[in-house]
Amino acid sequence: MSQSSGLTKAYAQQLDAQDELASYREEFYLLPSLYLDGNSLGLMSKRAEKSVMDMMQSWKELGVEGWTTGRHPWFFFSEKLAEMSAALVGAGPEEVIVTGSTTINLHQLAATFYRPVGKRSKVVATELDFPTDIYALQSQMKLHGLDPEEHLVRVASRDGRLIEEEDIIDAMTDEVALVVLPTVLYRSGQLLDIERLTAAAHERGILIGFDGCHSVGAIPHSFSKWGVDFAYWCNYKYVNAGPGSVGSLYVNRKHFGRTPGLAGWFSSKKDKQFDMDHTLEACESAGAYQIGTPHMLSLAPLLGSLEMFQEVSMEKLRTKSLGLTRFMMDLIEVELTDMGFTIANPQQDDRRGGHVSLEHEEAIRICKALKEAGIIPDFRAPNIIRLAPVAFYTTYTEVWESVQILKAIMLEKSYEKFENKREVVA
């Protein structure tokens, strides 16, 4: 679909009427503004709110007994949520644990799986990675007494937007001990070929892990089937578990029994933890990669959110997500012609994530104008506007309206009244 005759508001309303996920929109607290920033923070659901209130009530009524009694005993809560999360990434329930944050979990996994020996001392990442991954890998190298300038290989982008799998594979030399990559590049929304890259790494005797922050909850994965060694992700974007919610990690079962690089008492086997022995008996699952006491009030919203993911398959969510982003891109190509925009994300369905990435030299000011006009976008330096229609709560009509508003901003040049300077939080 690329003809303007098929890109009408009436057609968008027709798509909404046919949407089998439409009822889930009522599950969320919608903002007065049109929300297109779910790739940074998902909206609050009524079920997430209820889960928090239920957790507060259990604390109120049970006190310390809440650790082992009640509907969801806290001592096993991370494992309960892991079981509910496993289908999001195509893993066994014992291969996932809900714990820590993105950066803490990368530190944990790198401390476990990055074992420089002899000339195999390098780590492959990309120059387009989210900065926290690079910071964590650099600090892990320093702990080994290694210079990141020498040992961290950042694969270059050919165009400043995308990373070619061939270039990553070429970087997998016999000096590489570990590869850590994003599933989806956070700026351009490019979806990497996880299966291909995993196979290439293993053919060369290299371990490989993935940052799934910009894909989990929007894109189906098959981490176990593909043999991915480890992965980690946040739950506050497409999984809608709230600001700063507890993250998750995955470890392939073939690595069970390995001592975690960063051990703590929640690494223990559950039946041994309260023996208080000074010799760790690590859990023989991804649970071993927990460190400290779970943050119960930050875990609670995830329960309500995951209930909806159990009702709707990732395949259905992906189908709608692709439909929304395709509709948005078609509208942009027709309505915003010759206005200085470039669609930076891949066009192919199997190559893009859950957001549309627009480049424009006035991106900062355009984002400010969009907010004034009632649309919440996301800016990423230096010139990117990210727009994320989320399958659970965004409609096709909203996508149509957002592009019309953007068109009016450009025609009227209303963005020119804003300062060309990003806010502290972009």
Hey, is 398 helix, strand or coil? helix
Q: Is residue 1 scored above 50 in pLDDT? A: no
| Assigned token pair, 423 | 């806010």
Residue 131 assigned to a binding site: yes
Contact call for residues 290 and 266 (beta carbons, < 8 A): yes
Annotated domain spans of the chain: 4-30+313-417, 50-311
pLDDT given for residue 224 in this prediction: 98
Average pLDDT, the chain: 96
For 50-311, CATH number out of 3.30.1050.10, 3.40.640.10, 3.40.50.620, 3.30.530.50 equals 3.40.640.10
What does the alpha-carbon distance between residue 365 and residue 394 come to, in Å, rounded to a whole number? 24
- Please give the Cα distance from 16 to 4 (Å, whole number): 18
* Residue 36: band (very low, low, confident or very high) from pLDDT cuts 50, 70, 90: very high
Residue 425 has a pLDDT of 75
Residues 6+ apart with CB under 8 A from 390: 38, 39, 42, 43, 218, 238, 321, 354
Whether residue 214 is annotated as binding a ligand: the answer is yes
Least confident range from 27-36, 44-53, 134-143, 417-426: namely: 417-426
Any binding-site annotation on 220?
A: no
Query: Residue 59, Cβ neighbours under 10 Å: how many?
Result: 15
**Helices 131-143 and 102-113, packing angle to 10 deg:** 40
Distance CA 332, CA 114 (A): 44
Tokens 């009408």, located at residue: 8
Q: What is the dihedral of CA 323, 328, 330, 333, to 10 degrees?
A: -160
State the Cα–Cα distance between residues 100 and 283, nearest whole angstrom: 17
ω into 389 cis (within 30 of 0): no
Query: Is the predicted pLDDT of residue 2 greater than 60, yes or no?
Result: no
Task: Report the distance separating Cα 208 and Cα 202, nearest Å.
Answer: 8
The answer to whether 102 is annotated as binding is: yes
Architecture of the domain defined by 4-30+313-417: Alpha-Beta Complex (3.90)
Please indicate if the annotation marks 415 as binding a ligand: no
Flag whether 397 is marked binding.
no
Provide the pLDDT for residue 4: 52
For residue range 315-353, what is the model confidence (pLDDT) as tens digits? 999 999 999 999 999 999 999 999 999 999 999 999 999
Does residue 203 have a pLDDT over 60? yes
The residues annotated as belonging to the active site are 130, 211, 236-237, 386
Q: What is the pLDDT of residue 3?
A: 46
pLDDT tens figures, 402-412: 999 999 999 99
pLDDT at 426: 72
Q: Which amino acid is at 334?
A: V
Q: Same CATH topology for 4-30+313-417 and 50-311?
A: no
Q: pLDDT value at position 164? A: 98
CB 308 within 8 A of CB 45: yes
Cα–Cα nearest to 194, from 149, 146, 239, 233 = 233
211 is in an annotated binding site: yes
- Percent composition of the chain: helix, strand, coil (DSSP 3-state, to 5): 45, 15, 40
pLDDT band at 83; cut points 50, 70, 90: very high
Which residues fall within 8 angstroms of residue 275, CB to CB, at 6 or more apart? none
Closest Cα to residue 239, out of 212, 216, 214? 216
Task: Give the three-class secondary structure for 35.
Answer: strand
The average pLDDT across 276-304 equals: 96
What lies within 8 Å, CB to CB, of 329 at 6+ separation is 343, 347, 356
Contact status, residue 376 vs residue 389, Cβ threshold 8 Å: no
d(CA 329, CA 325): 6
pLDDT value at 422 more than 90? no
DSSP letter string over 314-341? HHHHHHHHHHHHHHHHHHHHHHTTTTT-
pLDDT tens-digit profile of 377-387?
999 999 999 99
Cβ(226)–Cβ(198) below 8 Å: yes
Angle between helical axes of 296-311 and 77-89 (0-180°, round to 10): 40
Facing residues of 45 across strands?
Answer: 28
- Print the SS3 string covering 120-177: ECEEEEECCCCHHHHHHHHHHHHHCCCCHHHHEEEECCCCCCCCCHHHHHHCCCCCEE
